[in-house]
Structure 1
């Protein structure tokens, strides 16, 4: 029997439409421009942990975009001012109760702001969509990691992190990187301990900087100016104080390419147009990407992403 009906109820789809309307109104009232960028592009992210979906168009390789980030940064460099994107993004090999290869992403950028200002705006946005105030906690990565493991994520030896990762997972981590061990322990030990409501965590380890700038924290430790936001223990958003140095960006791209080669993954060439935009001058800015489907799951009390999407084909 062919199952043709929607995976979400019509009532849920009406609530989803209302939430998208609320998001657009939120940014319109604050003078943030909505931008419509391509979902099919010549370049893709080089991140080891993200696999993009390839397509062939007129004999040329293209990629369904895993994020509108690179296009949005080109707009920022061209003088767009504050912007947001609300639309589809795609990632390969991501399926499950909280994942779907095609999903809805909200991403926005603010010039001249810091991470704390952006986290505050994100919290206000979520409260606006929820229609009620929420408990909001601001924490550092070090604080939550030490509370659950007693280990300092910035100073503990990699061998000790490998031991802990093996202990909590039952797998061998002796050849794993520091970043991989931290990721594993954070997801299995720290995330389940997070309280209900919104929890904003900043000051990630330098080895997990991705596209974020590095800076020293209050303790003099070099950390990534990166944050993640969780709602009721579920990862909701990921934000950065954006990297603007084209040489540093090129270096990180090349490091990613080497990691992908070592892991036997498809080679992804760095986005030359993004690098050219950075060379032209990307203004100081912060940006954040939020999973809209996950937000709706939490606000509507659903435990499966399909329950807040019209179809999962």
Structure 2
């Protein structure tokens, strides 16, 4: 298994190097940055272990490096299970003057190089709303407009609490019902996500209820998360301040980072759970088993 990971890393680096990407090594220990849905691991001096290299990479983008990537360890303060580890390997890359379709093409090409016998078809594309309509018979867009998802889910017998929060009900239905049914034969790109789950993404130009974001699933497992990156400093500051208010705790707001966002317009970025990808390629069903040290 160690040889498989080593080979996968070599193929990945070669894939990006051959396209003129610059590999970055961003700091692991950072100041506490406001994030609503990810819990960081805090250190005794008030800093945190990075949950993603995103903010440092965007600073690099702002000084005219147009194609960059990083393959390294990140940390999340979450319960470990078959698909979640406190420490794991993330592959993240950004393209200036690029669309989300460019990132989908990147993934199709990279995945096919890593496992040509598994990833030999074009990825499926579906909107999140279409999946909800098909699988649970709920029009998510209408529920967003009417702000009544908990009631809809309760009326259909999916949940037992009629007055729960939108976030709780959405996450429950996604993790237990919808995600296990996505990408069972070939990877599926799930387009358009509710804007409240996309703090660093541009809003969809045709409907601001949705963010310009996609996730990739294979065998019911989320592998990738991509944004058309928000480049409006005023809007980004507003979202971060809102997150800090909801968290009711002090966080470091990097105004230099926010100010430089205007320089990364038309940038798309994506993160891939590298361990999960190797796990699925290796036909292993537990991340812990992927990291076991076996004799040669």
TM superposition shift of 1:259: 1.9
Cα distance between partner residues in 2 of 1:48 and 1:165? 26
Equivalent position of 1:245 in the other structure:
232
TM-score, length basis structure 1: 0.85
Alignment of 1:149-298 (within 5 A): 149-156=136-143, 157-164=146-153, 170-172=159-161, 174-176=163-165, 178-194=166-182, 195-217=184-206, 222-261=209-248, 266-278=249-261, 281-298=263-280
Distance 1:160 1:242, change over 3 A: closer
The equivalent residue for 1:96 is 81
Alignment partners' CA distance in 1, 2:111 and 2:98: 19
Shift of 1:173: 5.5
> What is the alpha-carbon distance in structure 1 between the residues aligned to residue 208 and residue 238 of structure 2?
22
Q: Are 2:285 and 1:303 equivalent residues in the alignment?
A: yes
Whole-Å separation in 2 of the counterparts to 1:168 and 1:189: 13
Give the Cα separation in 1 of the matches to 2:208 and 2:47.
40
What do residues 273-300 of structure 1 show as CA deviations (whole Å, max 9, x unaligned)?
Answer: 3213225x22320000000110011000
Q: CA deviation at 1:253?
A: 0.5
TM normalised by structure 2 equals 0.90
Unaligned runs of 5+ residues in structure 2 are: none
Counterpart selection for 2:133 from 125, 146, 162: 146
Report which structure shows greater RCO (CA 8 Å, sep ≥6). 1
The question of whether the paired residues in 2 share the 8 Å contact of 1:165 and 1:184 is answered with no
SS in 2 for 1:154: helix
Match of 2:120 among 134, 147, 151: 134
- Assess if the C-alpha contact under 8 Å between 2:150 and 2:161 holds in 1: no
Q: 1:165 to 1:117 in 2, by over 3 A?
A: farther
Aligned pair count reads 288
Query: Corresponding residue for 2:2?
Result: 13
1:181-228 deviation digits (Å, cap 9, x = unpaired): 2232222221122223211011112232221101234xx564200000
Does the 8 Å CA contact 1:76/1:283 hold for their aligned counterparts? no
State the alpha-carbon separation in 1 of the partners of residues 162 and 176 from structure 2.
14
RMSD: 2.0
Single out whichever of 84-93 and 207-216 deviates more from structure 2: 207-216
Contact 1:163 1:174 in 2 (8 A): no
2:14 maps to which of 2, 25, 28: 25
Instruction: List gaps (5 residues or longer) in structure 1.
Output: 1-11
Deviation at 1:18, TM superposition (A): 0.4
Once residues 172 and 252 of structure 2 are traced to their aligned partners in structure 1, the CA distance between those partners, rounded to angstroms, is 28
Contact 1:196 1:233 survives alignment (8 Å): no
Q: Tell me the secondary structure at the aligned position of residue 142 of structure 2.
A: coil
Structure 1 pair 74–103 and aligned structure 2 pair: CA distance change class (3 A):
same
Change (3 A) 1:168 1:71: farther
- Report if the CA contact (8 A) 2:217-2:223 is conserved: yes
- Alignment partner, residue 26 of structure 2: 37
CA distance in 2, matches of 1:150, 1:39: 43
Q: Report the 3-state secondary structure (helix = DSSP H, G, I; strand = E; otherwise coil) of the residue aligned with 2:261.
A: helix
